[in-house]
Structure 1
Amino acid sequence: MLTLQKENEEVKKKEIDEIEDYGTLDIDEDDLKIEYPNFSIKIDRVQYSIFEMKRRYDRDMICIDPSFQRNYVWTKPRQKSELIESVVMGIPLPLIYLAENKDGQLIVVDGRQRLTTFFDFLNNKFSLKGLKIMKAINDKKFKDLENENPQYATMIEDFQLVVQIIKYPTPDRVRFDIFDRVNRGGTSLNKQEMRNALYQGKATELLDKLSESNDFKYATGKGVSSQRMKDKYIILRAVAFYLWNEGMLKDERGKLIEYKSDMEEFLGKVMQYLNDTSDKQVEEIGDIFINIMRRSFRILGQDAFRIPSNYKKKRPISMTLFESIFYFLYLSKNIEDSYVKKIIDKLLKDGEFIKSLEHAIDSSSQIETRFNIIKKKYKEVLNDN
């Protein structure tokens, strides 16, 4: 029989890039066909010099999502150098899109690579390479231009960027639609990547911490890819429904947040809630998550969140099963492990429960169905114990 240490080592070796998210993570044509109510949408068009944009960025008035930075920045020096060369030559650049949050901070929606390049060059983090038109400034950093070619340094600082600002409070559903349209010519962000950019703060820090934890990776058999933030998405949903079921999820006025079959609005409110809540409570939520992951691995192993299959091949990790079992393990935290396993085995043979995991999964009726079943099973556990 394998020891826990050996089992953990085997889990580390596995790289299963799968998750059953039922098409809820990516934006598709059906998402864009939604008939929006008469939302008040305001988009301002302004111009900022590169110097002014950097000044605002240095004062934390502009946020470039650090998670995006790790995955999408330009790596070839020539790309960055040619952008600086274009500015010196006065070539017009595409629009930059920003989204305003409730605190007035501006989140970069489109233009991350360009802005990062400008800020890094002004901070002397790279020198110009491979320029074929303005060869005289090859191998120059910004400080070199200031000393040797001050006119070029001034041209860079004064260059005007045309910026579109999506004003707060445009609803997330509409902002996601706008973001998708803006990004179609470049890197198309999915819904969680957009949320991660819009709600920087305690929420994103918590998701970073939990998704990178070995406890999460062991509990899922490394079956949830970190690419495109799939791991953060299922973690956010599990935390969201735990808070919602426990009656802890409240808006800034202290009113309970309801779920109305609009997952994007709901998860946006959860991210905002996490950003606004105390450091102590965020830490407690993180501890609860880690403890449940450890218990899940101890009781159910690395396949805990896979819906049983009649075929030899295992099904991918199920997002809806993950959030459901997560809440059941939270409720039954004081119940003996062996008994909890028996109840979960019965759950996985319950046709109504399985249906709620696989069909119309984000409708309020199906969400109520699966969590009502979870609560009912927990009451049975209490009665039996």
Structure 2
Amino acid sequence: MDELQKEIDAARLKVRTDSYPMSIGEIVNMYDDGDLKIRPEFQRLYRWTIFQKSRFIESILLGIPLPSIFVAQNEEGIWELVDGLQRISTILEFMGKLKKEDETSELYPPLKLISTDYLKKLQDKVWEGQEGDNNVIHKNIKRIFKREKIDIKILQRESETDTKFEIFQRLNTGGSKLSDQEVRNVLLLMVNANAQHWIENFAKNKDFIETLPISERQKNESYDNELVVRYLCLRNIPSNSLNPSLQDVAPYLNQFVTTILNNDYDYENEKKLFDKTFEYLNKYFGEKAFKKYNSEKKDYTGAISMPIFEMVSYGVSYAFDKNKVVKPEELEEKIIKAKKDRATKLSEDPALERNIRPIDRMKNMVKQGKELIGS
């Protein structure tokens, strides 16, 4: 047998899927009956604008073929929405059925449409309303809407976890594209919701927030969660528990959340170290903790630097983990020197950052973090 064919056959065994079309009415009924789940946490990823929502409803009414949605079937046979959140949530919101939480009856306000390219009369149209209200969608149009079909791709529960993640990544195209960390959030919610909540609680830590001045856009894209995952991943690099052959940081972080954050992970100790690390950094450095040092201004300036974040956060956590005394004035002196040395190297060789693999840089920051502490 051809070697490529062997690889294809082996890989296909990892994915068990089924597929068939369902009407919008059937899909909504499944949601009402609790047979189709949209995890409440996913709602934060629901970022379509009113224009995008109205245009999608327009597409359904015009009979334009809709992309498939992707669901994962759990042990109880319940479907969990994996890809198609924006589309299904828009349909449910338009019909006044989108719940804020799966276990409650509280609903989002029904969607009021705006005028679109081909259907100008959609302006202010709603699904339900008072009798005689001209803005209410006519019952004949409702029937057409509910009979439109969407192709459902079902990932059976026998499929491997990393396969679910890979499929979600590949399907995550178009529309309001999710960041790498948002995709990671979805994966964790699928395989280990408690770990995802744990990471989110880290990101809400007051000291962590005050040392990391990030923009609202970055926060909306879960950049704060990514920084937590990076910090935790750094703490696992020395143990060689992650695949050394990976070339980039993103798959490294993906592997961390799928393999390291398991039942054997020392959540309690890592929480204590995280709290101590960022309490210390906030107390003595505040929002300058991870900024570059400007020798001319003799001050910390600009946005946070990822290499500095990795070096300093790991170094301080390492000190607390090894019960080493960390004197703020001595640490600051070492940090300034390390930042100056780094700036000098970059000025001498601007291509230096481009010529090193991101994962190697990350490992190098772990080494430099230890050196800050005198190890």
**TM-score, length-scaled by structure 2:** 0.66
Superposed, which structure 2 residues align to 1:213-228 within 5 Å? 213-222=205-214, 225-228=218-221
**Structure-2 residue corresponding to 1:189:** 178
Amino acid at match of 2:22: Y
Q: Share of identical aligned residues, percent?
A: 16
Superposed, which structure 2 residues align to 1:1-385 within 5 Å? 40=11, 45-54=19-28, 55=30, 59=34, 62-63=37-38, 66=41, 69=44, 72-75=47-50, 79=54, 83=57, 87=60, 89=61, 91-98=63-70, 100=72, 106-109=80-83, 111-120=84-93, 121=95, 123=97, 125-126=109-110, 140-141=127-128, 156-164=145-153, 168-169=159-160, 175=167, 178-179=170-171, 182-183=173-174, 186-200=175-189, 201-222=193-214, 225-245=218-238, 247=239, 256-261=241-246, 262-273=248-259, 276-277=262-263, 281-282=266-267, 284-310=269-295, 312=297, 314-333=301-320, 334=323, 335-338=325-328, 339-351=330-342, 358-360=353-355, 362-378=357-373, 380=374
Specify every segment of 5 or more residues in structure 2 that has no aligned partner in the other structure, as ranges: 1-6, 98-106, 132-136
Seen in structure 2, the aligned counterparts of structure 1 residues 367 and 77 have a Cα distance that, compared at 3 Å, is closer
The separation in 2 between residues aligned to 1:142 and 1:270, in whole angstroms, is 49
The separation in 2 between residues aligned to 1:91 and 1:295, in whole angstroms, is 59
Deviations 1:188-241 (A, max 9, x none): 333222222332223432343333333222112457841422222222111111
Seen in structure 2, the aligned counterparts of structure 1 residues 173 and 59 have a Cα distance that, compared at 3 Å, is closer
The separation in 1 between residues aligned to 2:228 and 2:345, in whole angstroms, is 20
Amino acid at match of 2:68: I
**1 or 2 for the larger relative contact order (CA 8 Å, sep ≥6)?**
1
Amino acid at match of 1:264: A
- Would you say the 8 A contact 1:203–1:274 is kept in 2? no
Seen in structure 2, the aligned counterparts of structure 1 residues 317 and 99 have a Cα distance that, compared at 3 Å, is farther
- Would you say the 8 A contact 2:290–2:308 is kept in 1? yes
Deviations 1:238-285 (A, max 9, x none): 11111333x3x9xxxxxx33343342322122223476437x954553
Amino acid at match of 1:220: L
Amino acid at match of 2:182: E
Give the SS at the match of 2:152: strand
**Structure-1 residue corresponding to 2:102:** none
Seen in structure 2, the aligned counterparts of structure 1 residues 223 and 263 have a Cα distance that, compared at 3 Å, is same
Seen in structure 2, the aligned counterparts of structure 1 residues 122 and 221 have a Cα distance that, compared at 3 Å, is closer
Residue 362 of structure 1 deviates from its aligned partner by: 4.5
The separation in 1 between residues aligned to 2:275 and 2:236, in whole angstroms, is 15
Seen in structure 2, the aligned counterparts of structure 1 residues 322 and 174 have a Cα distance that, compared at 3 Å, is same
Seen in structure 2, the aligned counterparts of structure 1 residues 196 and 349 have a Cα distance that, compared at 3 Å, is same
- Would you say the 8 A contact 1:305–1:318 is kept in 2? yes
Give the SS at the match of 1:315: strand
- Stretch moving more, 345-354 or 225-234: 345-354
The separation in 2 between residues aligned to 1:142 and 1:159, in whole angstroms, is 23
**Structure-2 residue corresponding to 1:21:** none
Deviations 1:125-170 (A, max 9, x none): 52766787999x95542999xxx98877665555421234678546
Residue 72 of structure 1 deviates from its aligned partner by: 0.6
The separation in 1 between residues aligned to 2:271 and 2:352, in whole angstroms, is 25
- Stretch moving more, 100-109 or 283-292: 100-109
Residue 293 of structure 1 deviates from its aligned partner by: 1.3
- Would you say the 8 A contact 1:223–1:317 is kept in 2? no
- Would you say the 8 A contact 2:74–2:80 is kept in 1? no
Specify every segment of 5 or more residues in structure 1 that has no aligned partner in the other structure, as ranges: 1-36, 250-255
The separation in 1 between residues aligned to 2:292 and 2:263, in whole angstroms, is 34
The separation in 2 between residues aligned to 1:176 and 1:372, in whole angstroms, is 34
Amino acid at match of 2:263: T
- Would you say the 8 A contact 2:71–2:155 is kept in 1? yes
- Would you say the 8 A contact 2:20–2:152 is kept in 1? yes
Give the SS at the match of 2:292: coil
Give the SS at the match of 2:301: coil
**TM-score, length-scaled by structure 1:** 0.64
Seen in structure 2, the aligned counterparts of structure 1 residues 47 and 351 have a Cα distance that, compared at 3 Å, is same
The separation in 1 between residues aligned to 2:151 and 2:27, in whole angstroms, is 11
Give the SS at the match of 2:243: coil
- Would you say the 8 A contact 2:188–2:257 is kept in 1? yes
Residue 98 of structure 1 deviates from its aligned partner by: 2.4
